[in-house]
Chains A and B, each alone.
Chain A
Amino acid sequence: MQFGIFSIGDVTADPATGRTRSEHERLKSMVAAAVKAEEVGFDVFATGEHHNPPFVSSSPTTLLSHVAARTDRIILSTSTTLITTNDPVKVAEDYAVLQHLADGRVDLMMGRGNTGPVYPWFGKDVRQGIPLAIENYALLHQLWRDDVVDWEGRFRTPLQGFTSTPRPLDGVPPFVWHGSVRSPEIAEQAAYYGDGFFVNNLFGPMSHFTKLINLYRERYAHYGHGTPEQAIVGAGGHVFVRRNSQDAVREYRPYFAASPVYGGGPSIEQYMAQTSLTVGSPQEIIDKTLSFRDHFGDYQRQLFNIDMAGLPLKTVLEQLDLLGEEVLPALRKEFDAVRPSSVAEAPTHASLLARRGAQPDTQSEEAGK
Protein backbone atom coordinates (compact mmCIF):
# COMPACT_ATOMS: atom_id res chain seq x y z
CA MET A 1 0.00 0.00 0.00
CA GLN A 2 1.19 3.48 -0.85
CA PHE A 3 1.05 6.36 1.61
CA GLY A 4 1.51 9.93 0.60
CA ILE A 5 0.70 13.55 1.25
CA PHE A 6 -1.29 15.89 -0.94
CA SER A 7 -1.43 19.65 -0.80
CA ILE A 8 -3.72 22.22 -2.35
CA GLY A 9 -1.07 24.94 -2.06
CA ASP A 10 -3.17 27.54 -0.27
CA VAL A 11 -1.64 30.73 1.10
CA THR A 12 -3.64 31.24 4.28
CA ALA A 13 -2.84 33.47 7.25
CA ASP A 14 -1.60 31.53 10.27
CA PRO A 15 -4.40 32.17 12.80
CA ALA A 16 -1.99 31.59 15.69
CA THR A 17 0.29 34.43 14.65
CA GLY A 18 -1.79 36.41 12.14
CA ARG A 19 1.11 36.15 9.72
CA THR A 20 0.57 35.34 6.04
CA ARG A 21 3.42 33.71 4.18
CA SER A 22 4.56 35.06 0.83
CA GLU A 23 3.83 32.99 -2.27
CA HIS A 24 7.56 32.40 -2.55
CA GLU A 25 7.69 31.02 0.98
CA ARG A 26 4.63 28.84 0.41
CA LEU A 27 6.07 27.23 -2.71
CA LYS A 28 9.37 26.57 -0.95
CA SER A 29 7.42 25.07 1.97
CA MET A 30 5.67 22.65 -0.37
CA VAL A 31 9.04 21.51 -1.70
CA ALA A 32 10.43 21.16 1.83
CA ALA A 33 7.41 19.06 2.84
CA ALA A 34 7.83 16.84 -0.23
CA VAL A 35 11.52 16.27 0.47
CA LYS A 36 10.78 15.55 4.10
CA ALA A 37 7.96 13.18 3.16
CA GLU A 38 10.40 11.03 1.22
CA GLU A 39 12.89 11.17 4.10
CA VAL A 40 10.36 9.87 6.65
CA GLY A 41 9.10 7.08 4.42
CA PHE A 42 6.13 8.32 2.44
CA ASP A 43 5.67 6.96 -1.07
CA VAL A 44 3.79 9.75 -2.84
CA PHE A 45 3.76 13.54 -3.01
CA ALA A 46 0.84 15.09 -4.87
CA THR A 47 0.05 18.72 -5.60
CA GLY A 48 -3.26 20.30 -6.52
CA GLU A 49 -3.77 22.66 -9.43
CA HIS A 50 -5.46 26.01 -8.96
CA HIS A 51 -5.53 29.16 -11.06
CA ASN A 52 -6.70 31.75 -8.58
CA PRO A 53 -5.63 33.27 -5.26
CA PRO A 54 -4.98 32.22 -2.53
CA PHE A 55 -3.30 29.27 -4.26
CA VAL A 56 0.24 28.99 -5.64
CA SER A 57 -0.23 25.63 -7.34
CA SER A 58 -0.88 26.81 -10.90
CA SER A 59 2.01 24.95 -12.55
CA PRO A 60 2.27 21.42 -11.13
CA THR A 61 4.91 20.02 -13.50
CA THR A 62 7.27 22.92 -12.71
CA LEU A 63 6.91 22.20 -9.00
CA LEU A 64 7.08 18.42 -9.36
CA SER A 65 10.09 18.58 -11.64
CA HIS A 66 11.95 20.56 -8.98
CA VAL A 67 10.89 18.04 -6.32
CA ALA A 68 12.05 15.24 -8.63
CA ALA A 69 15.53 16.75 -8.68
CA ARG A 70 15.61 16.93 -4.89
CA THR A 71 14.37 13.37 -4.22
CA ASP A 72 15.19 9.80 -5.25
CA ARG A 73 12.33 7.53 -4.46
CA ILE A 74 9.02 9.29 -3.87
CA ILE A 75 6.32 9.16 -6.58
CA LEU A 76 5.26 12.56 -7.89
CA SER A 77 1.57 12.95 -8.55
CA THR A 78 -1.25 15.47 -8.81
CA SER A 79 -4.46 16.07 -6.90
CA THR A 80 -5.77 16.94 -9.38
CA THR A 81 -4.73 17.79 -12.95
CA LEU A 82 -7.52 19.79 -14.57
CA ILE A 83 -8.43 17.66 -17.54
CA THR A 84 -11.33 20.00 -18.34
CA THR A 85 -9.55 23.30 -18.89
CA ASN A 86 -6.00 22.20 -19.77
CA ASP A 87 -5.19 21.31 -23.34
CA PRO A 88 -4.77 17.51 -23.33
CA VAL A 89 -1.91 17.87 -25.83
CA LYS A 90 0.01 20.05 -23.38
CA VAL A 91 -0.79 17.67 -20.50
CA ALA A 92 0.59 14.78 -22.60
CA GLU A 93 3.79 16.71 -23.31
CA ASP A 94 4.37 18.22 -19.87
CA TYR A 95 3.89 14.99 -17.94
CA ALA A 96 5.92 12.96 -20.42
CA VAL A 97 8.85 15.35 -19.88
CA LEU A 98 8.37 15.07 -16.13
CA GLN A 99 8.20 11.29 -16.38
CA HIS A 100 11.55 11.17 -18.23
CA LEU A 101 13.27 13.60 -15.85
CA ALA A 102 11.92 11.77 -12.78
CA ASP A 103 12.94 8.35 -14.17
CA GLY A 104 9.36 7.13 -14.19
CA ARG A 105 8.40 8.29 -10.67
CA VAL A 106 5.24 9.96 -11.99
CA ASP A 107 1.54 9.32 -12.07
CA LEU A 108 -1.31 11.78 -12.17
CA MET A 109 -4.88 12.22 -11.13
CA MET A 110 -7.48 13.71 -13.42
CA GLY A 111 -10.04 16.09 -11.98
CA ARG A 112 -12.58 18.59 -13.17
CA GLY A 113 -11.71 21.35 -10.71
CA ASN A 114 -13.97 23.00 -8.19
CA THR A 115 -13.68 26.63 -9.23
CA GLY A 116 -16.34 27.67 -11.74
CA PRO A 117 -14.61 30.77 -13.17
CA VAL A 118 -11.55 28.72 -14.25
CA TYR A 119 -13.63 27.45 -17.17
CA PRO A 120 -14.32 30.87 -18.71
CA TRP A 121 -10.78 32.03 -17.87
CA PHE A 122 -9.51 29.21 -20.07
CA GLY A 123 -12.18 29.68 -22.73
CA LYS A 124 -14.35 26.75 -21.67
CA ASP A 125 -18.01 26.31 -20.69
CA VAL A 126 -18.53 25.10 -17.11
CA ARG A 127 -21.72 23.30 -18.15
CA GLN A 128 -19.56 21.06 -20.35
CA GLY A 129 -17.45 19.85 -17.40
CA ILE A 130 -18.15 16.13 -17.80
CA PRO A 131 -18.00 16.06 -21.62
CA LEU A 132 -14.70 17.99 -21.48
CA ALA A 133 -13.27 15.50 -18.98
CA ILE A 134 -14.33 12.59 -21.17
CA GLU A 135 -13.18 13.91 -24.53
CA ASN A 136 -9.92 15.46 -23.30
CA TYR A 137 -8.88 12.33 -21.46
CA ALA A 138 -9.73 10.14 -24.45
CA LEU A 139 -7.30 12.27 -26.48
CA LEU A 140 -4.60 12.24 -23.76
CA HIS A 141 -4.92 8.45 -23.52
CA GLN A 142 -4.45 8.13 -27.27
CA LEU A 143 -1.55 10.60 -27.45
CA TRP A 144 0.45 8.50 -24.98
CA ARG A 145 -0.26 5.24 -26.78
CA ASP A 146 -0.32 5.98 -30.52
CA ASP A 147 2.84 7.42 -32.05
CA VAL A 148 0.89 9.24 -34.75
CA VAL A 149 -2.55 10.61 -33.95
CA ASP A 150 -5.32 11.77 -36.28
CA TRP A 151 -8.04 13.19 -34.11
CA GLU A 152 -11.17 15.26 -34.27
CA GLY A 153 -13.40 16.17 -31.33
CA ARG A 154 -15.85 18.73 -30.14
CA PHE A 155 -13.69 20.89 -27.92
CA ARG A 156 -10.27 21.16 -29.52
CA THR A 157 -8.82 21.96 -32.89
CA PRO A 158 -8.34 18.73 -34.91
CA LEU A 159 -4.99 16.97 -35.19
CA GLN A 160 -3.60 15.40 -38.36
CA GLY A 161 -0.47 13.26 -38.17
CA PHE A 162 0.41 14.61 -34.71
CA THR A 163 3.08 13.02 -32.54
CA SER A 164 3.21 14.02 -28.89
CA THR A 165 6.84 14.23 -27.80
CA PRO A 166 8.67 13.01 -25.88
CA ARG A 167 7.10 9.57 -26.11
CA PRO A 168 6.37 8.12 -22.63
CA LEU A 169 9.42 6.69 -20.88
CA ASP A 170 10.04 3.10 -22.01
CA GLY A 171 6.80 3.36 -24.00
CA VAL A 172 4.87 3.13 -20.73
CA PRO A 173 2.36 5.95 -20.16
CA PRO A 174 2.16 7.31 -16.62
CA PHE A 175 -0.51 5.57 -14.56
CA VAL A 176 -3.66 7.66 -14.24
CA TRP A 177 -6.12 8.06 -11.39
CA HIS A 178 -9.46 9.79 -11.76
CA GLY A 179 -10.63 11.85 -8.83
CA SER A 180 -14.27 12.60 -8.19
CA VAL A 181 -16.32 13.97 -5.32
CA ARG A 182 -19.78 13.37 -6.73
CA SER A 183 -19.82 12.29 -10.38
CA PRO A 184 -20.72 8.69 -11.21
CA GLU A 185 -19.68 9.45 -14.81
CA ILE A 186 -16.07 9.78 -13.65
CA ALA A 187 -16.19 6.49 -11.71
CA GLU A 188 -17.50 4.92 -14.92
CA GLN A 189 -14.70 6.54 -16.93
CA ALA A 190 -12.01 5.23 -14.58
CA ALA A 191 -13.54 1.76 -14.70
CA TYR A 192 -13.74 1.73 -18.50
CA TYR A 193 -10.02 2.39 -18.89
CA GLY A 194 -8.96 0.21 -15.95
CA ASP A 195 -7.41 3.32 -14.41
CA GLY A 196 -7.34 4.12 -10.70
CA PHE A 197 -10.18 5.88 -8.90
CA PHE A 198 -9.56 8.30 -6.05
CA VAL A 199 -11.92 9.93 -3.58
CA ASN A 200 -10.51 12.87 -1.65
CA ASN A 201 -12.54 11.71 1.36
CA LEU A 202 -12.43 15.25 2.73
CA PHE A 203 -15.17 17.43 4.21
CA GLY A 204 -17.96 14.88 3.74
CA PRO A 205 -19.23 11.62 5.21
CA MET A 206 -17.33 8.50 4.19
CA SER A 207 -20.60 6.75 3.29
CA HIS A 208 -20.96 9.24 0.43
CA PHE A 209 -17.60 8.24 -1.05
CA THR A 210 -18.36 4.55 -0.55
CA LYS A 211 -21.15 4.76 -3.12
CA LEU A 212 -18.80 6.10 -5.81
CA ILE A 213 -16.13 3.51 -5.01
CA ASN A 214 -18.63 0.67 -5.11
CA LEU A 215 -19.87 1.85 -8.50
CA TYR A 216 -16.27 2.05 -9.78
CA ARG A 217 -15.42 -1.43 -8.47
CA GLU A 218 -18.51 -2.97 -10.05
CA ARG A 219 -17.90 -1.31 -13.43
CA TYR A 220 -14.14 -2.15 -13.29
CA ALA A 221 -15.15 -5.79 -13.18
CA HIS A 222 -17.82 -5.23 -15.86
CA TYR A 223 -15.12 -4.03 -18.26
CA GLY A 224 -13.04 -7.14 -17.58
CA HIS A 225 -10.07 -5.61 -15.78
CA GLY A 226 -10.36 -7.95 -12.79
CA THR A 227 -12.65 -8.58 -9.87
CA PRO A 228 -14.31 -5.67 -8.06
CA GLU A 229 -11.90 -6.27 -5.17
CA GLN A 230 -8.92 -5.88 -7.49
CA ALA A 231 -9.93 -2.41 -8.72
CA ILE A 232 -7.39 0.31 -7.93
CA VAL A 233 -8.73 2.64 -5.28
CA GLY A 234 -7.18 5.61 -3.55
CA ALA A 235 -8.51 7.77 -0.74
CA GLY A 236 -7.58 10.99 0.96
CA GLY A 237 -7.79 12.02 4.56
CA HIS A 238 -7.03 15.00 6.74
CA VAL A 239 -4.91 14.62 9.86
CA PHE A 240 -3.26 16.69 12.54
CA VAL A 241 -1.13 14.73 14.95
CA ARG A 242 0.62 15.42 18.24
CA ARG A 243 1.92 12.95 20.79
CA ASN A 244 -1.27 13.24 22.79
CA SER A 245 -4.70 14.08 21.53
CA GLN A 246 -5.45 16.95 23.94
CA ASP A 247 -2.42 18.87 22.62
CA ALA A 248 -3.42 18.12 19.06
CA VAL A 249 -6.97 19.40 19.49
CA ARG A 250 -5.89 22.47 21.47
CA GLU A 251 -3.28 23.45 18.89
CA TYR A 252 -5.41 22.70 15.83
CA ARG A 253 -8.68 24.30 16.94
CA PRO A 254 -7.80 27.85 15.77
CA TYR A 255 -6.65 26.50 12.37
CA PHE A 256 -9.89 24.56 12.07
CA ALA A 257 -11.97 27.60 13.00
CA ALA A 258 -10.14 29.87 10.54
CA SER A 259 -10.26 27.33 7.72
CA PRO A 260 -12.38 28.48 4.79
CA VAL A 261 -13.75 24.95 4.49
CA TYR A 262 -14.35 23.97 8.09
CA GLY A 263 -14.93 27.31 9.77
CA GLY A 264 -18.39 28.48 10.81
CA GLY A 265 -19.96 25.03 10.75
CA PRO A 266 -19.94 21.96 12.98
CA SER A 267 -17.28 21.52 15.66
CA ILE A 268 -14.01 19.58 15.23
CA GLU A 269 -15.64 16.78 17.20
CA GLN A 270 -18.68 16.64 14.91
CA TYR A 271 -16.47 16.69 11.82
CA MET A 272 -14.30 13.93 13.24
CA ALA A 273 -17.38 11.79 13.88
CA GLN A 274 -18.70 12.12 10.33
CA THR A 275 -15.67 12.62 8.06
CA SER A 276 -12.06 11.50 7.61
CA LEU A 277 -10.73 14.38 9.73
CA THR A 278 -8.60 13.12 12.61
CA VAL A 279 -6.99 15.49 15.07
CA GLY A 280 -5.27 13.46 17.73
CA SER A 281 -2.50 11.11 18.80
CA PRO A 282 -0.62 8.72 16.51
CA GLN A 283 -2.79 5.86 17.76
CA GLU A 284 -5.98 7.78 16.95
CA ILE A 285 -4.70 8.47 13.43
CA ILE A 286 -3.86 4.79 13.03
CA ASP A 287 -7.26 3.60 14.27
CA LYS A 288 -9.24 6.05 12.17
CA THR A 289 -7.24 5.39 8.99
CA LEU A 290 -7.61 1.65 9.39
CA SER A 291 -11.36 2.18 9.58
CA PHE A 292 -11.34 3.63 6.03
CA ARG A 293 -10.99 0.05 4.82
CA ASP A 294 -14.43 -0.72 6.29
CA HIS A 295 -15.89 1.89 3.93
CA PHE A 296 -13.73 1.51 0.84
CA GLY A 297 -12.53 -2.11 0.88
CA ASP A 298 -8.87 -3.03 0.37
CA TYR A 299 -7.37 -0.03 -1.33
CA GLN A 300 -3.98 0.84 -2.71
CA ARG A 301 -3.23 4.48 -1.96
CA GLN A 302 -3.78 6.67 1.08
CA LEU A 303 -2.97 10.38 0.81
CA PHE A 304 -3.05 12.71 3.81
CA ASN A 305 -3.51 16.44 3.80
CA ILE A 306 -1.28 17.91 6.48
CA ASP A 307 -0.65 21.52 5.47
CA MET A 308 -4.00 23.27 4.98
CA ALA A 309 -5.20 26.48 6.54
CA GLY A 310 -1.95 28.29 7.28
CA LEU A 311 -0.03 25.67 9.30
CA PRO A 312 3.58 26.88 9.51
CA LEU A 313 6.30 24.79 7.85
CA LYS A 314 7.86 23.89 11.19
CA THR A 315 4.59 22.31 12.32
CA VAL A 316 4.16 20.51 9.00
CA LEU A 317 7.62 18.99 9.28
CA GLU A 318 6.89 17.89 12.85
CA GLN A 319 3.71 16.24 11.58
CA LEU A 320 5.73 14.36 8.97
CA ASP A 321 8.26 13.19 11.56
CA LEU A 322 5.58 11.81 13.84
CA LEU A 323 3.61 10.23 10.99
CA GLY A 324 6.77 8.63 9.60
CA GLU A 325 7.99 7.33 12.95
CA GLU A 326 4.80 6.08 14.54
CA VAL A 327 1.88 6.05 12.12
CA LEU A 328 3.17 4.71 8.80
CA PRO A 329 4.90 1.56 10.14
CA ALA A 330 1.74 0.55 12.01
CA LEU A 331 -0.54 1.29 9.06
CA ARG A 332 1.66 -0.66 6.65
CA LYS A 333 1.74 -3.63 8.98
CA GLU A 334 -1.99 -3.65 9.70
CA PHE A 335 -3.16 -3.04 6.13
CA ASP A 336 -0.77 -5.65 4.74
CA ALA A 337 -1.93 -8.20 7.28
CA VAL A 338 -5.54 -8.05 6.13
CA ARG A 339 -5.16 -7.52 2.38
CA PRO A 340 -5.64 -10.72 0.36
CA SER A 341 -2.81 -11.60 -2.03
CA SER A 342 -5.19 -11.32 -4.99
CA VAL A 343 -5.36 -7.55 -4.48
CA ALA A 344 -2.33 -5.99 -6.14
CA GLU A 345 -0.40 -2.88 -5.17
CA ALA A 346 -1.03 0.33 -7.12
CA PRO A 347 0.75 0.27 -10.47
CA THR A 348 4.15 1.97 -10.70
CA HIS A 349 6.37 2.56 -13.68
CA ALA A 350 8.36 -0.56 -12.81
CA SER A 351 5.30 -2.77 -12.40
CA LEU A 352 3.69 -1.51 -15.61
CA LEU A 353 6.94 -2.12 -17.45
CA ALA A 354 7.21 -5.63 -16.07
CA ARG A 355 3.58 -6.39 -16.86
CA ARG A 356 4.04 -5.39 -20.45
CA GLY A 357 7.26 -7.30 -20.80
CA ALA A 358 8.75 -4.27 -22.50
CA GLN A 359 12.43 -3.47 -22.30
CA PRO A 360 13.51 -0.13 -20.82
CA ASP A 361 14.72 2.41 -23.39
CA THR A 362 18.17 2.48 -21.84
CA GLN A 363 18.55 -1.30 -22.09
CA SER A 364 17.32 -1.46 -25.67
CA GLU A 365 19.81 1.23 -26.65
CA GLU A 366 22.60 -0.73 -25.06
CA ALA A 367 21.38 -3.94 -26.64
CA GLY A 368 21.53 -2.25 -30.02
CA LYS A 369 25.16 -1.24 -29.61
Chain B
Amino acid sequence: MSANALEPLHLTVVSAGLSVPSSTRLLADRLTESVREQLADAGREVEVQVVELRDLAADIANNLVTGFPSPTLAKAIDAVTSADGLIAVTPVFTASYSGLFKSFFDVIDNDALTAKAVLAAATGGTARHSLALEHALRPLFAYLRAIVVPTAVYAASEDWGGNGDPLTDTLPRRIARAGGELAELMRGRTGSAARPADEAAVVPFAQQLDSLRPA
Protein backbone atom coordinates (compact mmCIF):
# COMPACT_ATOMS: atom_id res chain seq x y z
CA MET B 1 0.00 0.00 0.00
CA SER B 2 1.49 3.33 -0.97
CA ALA B 3 1.64 6.03 1.67
CA ASN B 4 -0.52 8.45 -0.29
CA ALA B 5 -3.35 5.92 -0.31
CA LEU B 6 -3.55 6.23 3.45
CA GLU B 7 -6.10 8.53 4.98
CA PRO B 8 -5.31 10.56 8.10
CA LEU B 9 -5.54 8.61 11.34
CA HIS B 10 -8.13 9.67 13.92
CA LEU B 11 -6.96 10.24 17.45
CA THR B 12 -9.50 11.10 20.14
CA VAL B 13 -8.36 12.56 23.44
CA VAL B 14 -10.58 12.34 26.53
CA SER B 15 -9.65 14.72 29.32
CA ALA B 16 -11.49 14.58 32.64
CA GLY B 17 -9.78 17.58 34.21
CA LEU B 18 -12.14 19.96 35.96
CA SER B 19 -10.21 23.20 36.42
CA VAL B 20 -9.18 25.69 33.74
CA PRO B 21 -6.31 25.57 33.04
CA SER B 22 -6.08 21.92 33.92
CA SER B 23 -2.93 19.89 34.45
CA THR B 24 -4.89 16.87 33.18
CA ARG B 25 -5.46 18.67 29.89
CA LEU B 26 -1.83 19.77 29.89
CA LEU B 27 -0.71 16.15 30.15
CA ALA B 28 -3.25 15.14 27.49
CA ASP B 29 -1.85 17.78 25.12
CA ARG B 30 1.75 16.68 25.72
CA LEU B 31 0.81 13.07 25.00
CA THR B 32 -1.14 14.08 21.90
CA GLU B 33 1.83 16.03 20.56
CA SER B 34 4.12 13.09 21.17
CA VAL B 35 1.84 10.72 19.28
CA ARG B 36 1.44 13.22 16.44
CA GLU B 37 5.20 13.68 16.05
CA GLN B 38 5.96 10.00 16.09
CA LEU B 39 3.23 9.24 13.56
CA ALA B 40 4.54 12.06 11.37
CA ASP B 41 7.97 10.43 11.51
CA ALA B 42 6.30 7.31 10.17
CA GLY B 43 4.65 9.32 7.40
CA ARG B 44 1.19 9.31 8.89
CA GLU B 45 -1.01 12.33 9.37
CA VAL B 46 -3.31 12.47 12.36
CA GLU B 47 -6.57 14.30 13.02
CA VAL B 48 -7.15 15.02 16.69
CA GLN B 49 -10.44 15.49 18.45
CA VAL B 50 -10.46 16.49 22.11
CA VAL B 51 -13.38 15.58 24.37
CA GLU B 52 -13.46 17.68 27.55
CA LEU B 53 -15.70 15.80 29.95
CA ARG B 54 -16.36 18.89 32.06
CA ASP B 55 -18.38 20.33 29.17
CA LEU B 56 -20.42 17.14 29.09
CA ALA B 57 -20.91 16.68 32.84
CA ALA B 58 -24.67 17.35 32.86
CA ASP B 59 -25.21 15.31 29.69
CA ILE B 60 -23.33 12.37 31.18
CA ALA B 61 -25.39 12.53 34.40
CA ASN B 62 -28.57 12.76 32.32
CA ASN B 63 -27.56 9.74 30.30
CA LEU B 64 -27.08 7.74 33.50
CA VAL B 65 -30.65 8.64 34.44
CA THR B 66 -32.36 8.32 31.06
CA GLY B 67 -30.37 5.56 29.43
CA PHE B 68 -29.74 7.53 26.25
CA PRO B 69 -27.28 10.28 25.26
CA SER B 70 -28.09 13.84 24.28
CA PRO B 71 -27.05 14.71 20.70
CA THR B 72 -23.91 16.47 22.01
CA LEU B 73 -22.87 13.51 24.12
CA ALA B 74 -23.68 11.09 21.30
CA LYS B 75 -21.21 12.99 19.13
CA ALA B 76 -18.48 12.70 21.77
CA ILE B 77 -19.14 8.98 22.24
CA ASP B 78 -18.97 8.51 18.50
CA ALA B 79 -15.64 10.33 18.40
CA VAL B 80 -14.28 7.89 20.98
CA THR B 81 -15.69 4.68 19.54
CA SER B 82 -14.76 5.47 15.92
CA ALA B 83 -11.18 6.62 16.58
CA ASP B 84 -8.05 4.77 15.52
CA GLY B 85 -6.51 5.57 18.86
CA LEU B 86 -7.60 6.96 22.22
CA ILE B 87 -5.76 8.95 24.86
CA ALA B 88 -7.67 8.90 28.16
CA VAL B 89 -6.51 11.16 30.98
CA THR B 90 -8.11 11.57 34.40
CA PRO B 91 -7.21 13.29 37.61
CA VAL B 92 -6.87 10.86 40.52
CA PHE B 93 -9.69 11.47 42.99
CA THR B 94 -10.01 9.43 46.18
CA ALA B 95 -7.44 6.85 45.07
CA SER B 96 -8.98 6.20 41.65
CA TYR B 97 -10.21 7.74 38.37
CA SER B 98 -12.64 10.61 38.83
CA GLY B 99 -16.35 9.81 38.98
CA LEU B 100 -16.96 11.83 35.83
CA PHE B 101 -14.30 9.85 33.93
CA LYS B 102 -15.85 6.53 35.00
CA SER B 103 -19.38 7.73 34.28
CA PHE B 104 -18.40 8.66 30.73
CA PHE B 105 -17.10 5.17 30.06
CA ASP B 106 -20.17 3.74 31.86
CA VAL B 107 -22.50 5.23 29.24
CA ILE B 108 -20.50 3.80 26.33
CA ASP B 109 -21.58 0.40 25.07
CA ASN B 110 -19.54 -2.45 26.58
CA ASP B 111 -18.43 -3.71 23.19
CA ALA B 112 -17.70 -0.37 21.56
CA LEU B 113 -14.02 -0.17 22.58
CA THR B 114 -13.05 -3.72 21.68
CA ALA B 115 -9.50 -3.77 20.23
CA LYS B 116 -9.20 0.01 20.58
CA ALA B 117 -5.61 1.26 21.03
CA VAL B 118 -5.59 3.23 24.29
CA LEU B 119 -3.03 5.30 26.13
CA ALA B 120 -4.04 5.74 29.78
CA ALA B 121 -2.74 8.63 31.83
CA ALA B 122 -3.50 10.39 35.10
CA THR B 123 -2.57 13.41 37.15
CA GLY B 124 -2.44 14.02 40.88
CA GLY B 125 -1.01 16.15 43.62
CA THR B 126 1.49 13.55 44.70
CA ALA B 127 3.28 10.62 43.08
CA ARG B 128 1.95 8.35 45.82
CA HIS B 129 -1.20 7.76 43.74
CA SER B 130 0.56 6.76 40.53
CA LEU B 131 -0.43 3.10 40.73
CA ALA B 132 -4.08 4.12 40.37
CA LEU B 133 -3.30 3.81 36.66
CA GLU B 134 -2.53 0.13 37.10
CA HIS B 135 -5.20 -0.59 39.73
CA ALA B 136 -8.07 1.36 38.18
CA LEU B 137 -7.60 2.50 34.58
CA ARG B 138 -5.91 -0.59 33.19
CA PRO B 139 -8.59 -3.00 34.54
CA LEU B 140 -11.34 -0.69 33.25
CA PHE B 141 -9.96 -0.83 29.71
CA ALA B 142 -9.12 -4.53 30.02
CA TYR B 143 -12.78 -5.17 30.82
CA LEU B 144 -13.73 -3.24 27.68
CA ARG B 145 -11.25 -5.43 25.74
CA ALA B 146 -9.28 -2.39 24.64
CA ILE B 147 -5.53 -2.66 24.02
CA VAL B 148 -3.74 -0.46 26.54
CA VAL B 149 -0.14 0.45 25.76
CA PRO B 150 2.41 -0.82 28.32
CA THR B 151 3.46 2.65 29.48
CA ALA B 152 0.79 4.48 31.45
CA VAL B 153 1.80 8.05 32.27
CA TYR B 154 1.28 9.61 35.66
CA ALA B 155 2.13 13.24 36.27
CA ALA B 156 2.32 14.49 39.85
CA SER B 157 2.57 18.20 40.59
CA GLU B 158 6.31 17.86 41.10
CA ASP B 159 6.74 16.35 37.62
CA TRP B 160 5.88 19.70 36.02
CA GLY B 161 9.05 21.14 37.55
CA GLY B 162 12.08 19.06 38.36
CA ASN B 163 14.93 18.99 40.82
CA GLY B 164 17.77 18.11 38.51
CA ASP B 165 17.74 14.46 39.56
CA PRO B 166 17.78 12.33 36.39
CA LEU B 167 16.26 9.41 38.31
CA THR B 168 13.05 11.33 39.07
CA ASP B 169 12.88 13.92 36.26
CA THR B 170 11.33 11.41 33.91
CA LEU B 171 8.03 12.86 32.66
CA PRO B 172 9.24 13.85 29.17
CA ARG B 173 10.81 10.42 28.66
CA ARG B 174 7.67 8.64 29.84
CA ILE B 175 5.49 10.79 27.56
CA ALA B 176 7.72 10.01 24.59
CA ARG B 177 7.76 6.29 25.33
CA ALA B 178 3.98 6.08 25.79
CA GLY B 179 3.36 8.22 22.71
CA GLY B 180 5.64 5.95 20.69
CA GLU B 181 3.79 2.88 21.86
CA LEU B 182 0.39 4.31 20.86
CA ALA B 183 1.76 5.57 17.53
CA GLU B 184 3.13 2.10 16.85
CA LEU B 185 -0.30 0.53 17.41
CA MET B 186 -2.02 3.16 15.28
CA ARG B 187 0.31 3.36 12.31
CA GLY B 188 -0.71 -0.02 10.96
CA ARG B 189 -4.28 1.13 10.51
CA THR B 190 -5.66 2.36 7.21
CA GLY B 191 -7.27 5.41 8.74
CA SER B 192 -10.80 4.54 7.69
CA ALA B 193 -11.54 4.30 11.37
CA ALA B 194 -13.40 1.12 12.25
CA ARG B 195 -16.94 2.07 13.15
CA PRO B 196 -18.86 -0.34 15.32
CA ALA B 197 -21.65 -2.11 13.44
CA ASP B 198 -24.77 -0.09 14.09
CA GLU B 199 -27.30 -2.78 13.39
CA ALA B 200 -27.02 -6.00 15.34
CA ALA B 201 -26.88 -8.97 13.02
CA VAL B 202 -30.15 -10.83 13.31
CA VAL B 203 -30.12 -14.56 14.02
CA PRO B 204 -32.81 -16.16 11.82
CA PHE B 205 -35.75 -17.27 13.93
CA ALA B 206 -35.64 -20.92 12.91
CA GLN B 207 -32.06 -21.03 14.18
CA GLN B 208 -33.09 -19.42 17.49
CA LEU B 209 -35.83 -22.00 17.90
CA ASP B 210 -33.65 -24.93 16.86
CA SER B 211 -31.02 -24.08 19.43
CA LEU B 212 -33.67 -24.66 22.11
CA ARG B 213 -34.77 -28.10 20.94
CA PRO B 214 -33.89 -30.84 23.41
CA ALA B 215 -30.95 -32.91 22.15
Contact = CB atoms under 8 A, between A and B. Distances in A.
Contacts of A274: 68, 70
B70 A135 contact: no
Contact of A188 (B65, B199, B203, B213): B203
A153 B212 contact: yes
A266 interface: yes
Contacts of A188: 202-205, 208
Interface in B168-215: 198-200, 202-206, 208-209, 211-214
Given A188-B204, A188-B205, A215-B199, A152 B214 contact: yes
A265 B62 contact: yes
A265 B63 CA distance: 8
Interface residues of A, number: 28
B212 A135 contact: yes
B65 A265 contact: yes
Contacts of B68: 204-205, 208, 274
A161 interface: no
A204 B200 CA distance: 19
A310 to B, nearest CB: 19
Contacts of B211: 131
Contact of A134 (B66, B67, B208, B214): B208
Contact of A266 (B70, B208, B212): B70
B209 A204 contact: no
A161 to B, nearest CB: 18
Given A134-B209, A188-B208, A204 B214 contact: no
A189 B62 CA distance: 33
A153 B211 CA distance: 11
Nearest to A215: B202
Interface in A205-255: 205, 208, 211, 215, 219
A224 B209 CA distance: 19
B66 A203 contact: yes
B202 A266 contact: no
A274 to B, nearest CB: 8
Contact of B214 (A130, A131, A154, A211): A154
A106 B205 CA distance: 26
B107 to A, nearest CB: 13
Contacts of A152: 214
Contact of A211 (B66, B199, B204): B199
A219 B199 CA distance: 14
B67 to A, nearest CB: 7
Contacts of B61: 265
Interface in A126-140: 130-131, 134-135, 138
Given A152-B214, A185-B203, A211-B199, A266 B209 contact: no
For A130, A152, A205, the residue with the greatest tally of chain B CB atoms inside 10 Å of its CB is A205
A120 interface: no
Given A154-B214, A211-B199, A264 B204 contact: no
Given A134-B208, A153-B212, A153-B214, A184 B66 contact: no
A219 B206 CA distance: 13
A369 B65 CA distance: 64
Contacts of B205: 134, 188-189, 191-192
Interface in A120-159: 130-131, 134-135, 138, 152-154
Contacts of B203: 185, 188
Nearest to A133: B208
Nearest to A266: B62
A271 B62 CA distance: 11
A204 B65 CA distance: 11
A136 to B, nearest CB: 10
A265 B73 CA distance: 14
Contacts of B209: 134-135, 138
Interface string A262-279: 001110001100100000
Interface of B: 61-62, 65-68, 70, 198-200, 202-206, 208-209, 211-214
7 contacts: A134-B205, A189-B208, A203-B67, A204-B67, A211-B198, A264-B65, A265-B66
10 pairs of A and B residues whose beta carbons are closest in the complex: A265-B65, A192-B205, A266-B62, A135-B212, A265-B62, A184-B200, A265-B66, A204-B68, A188-B202, A188-B205
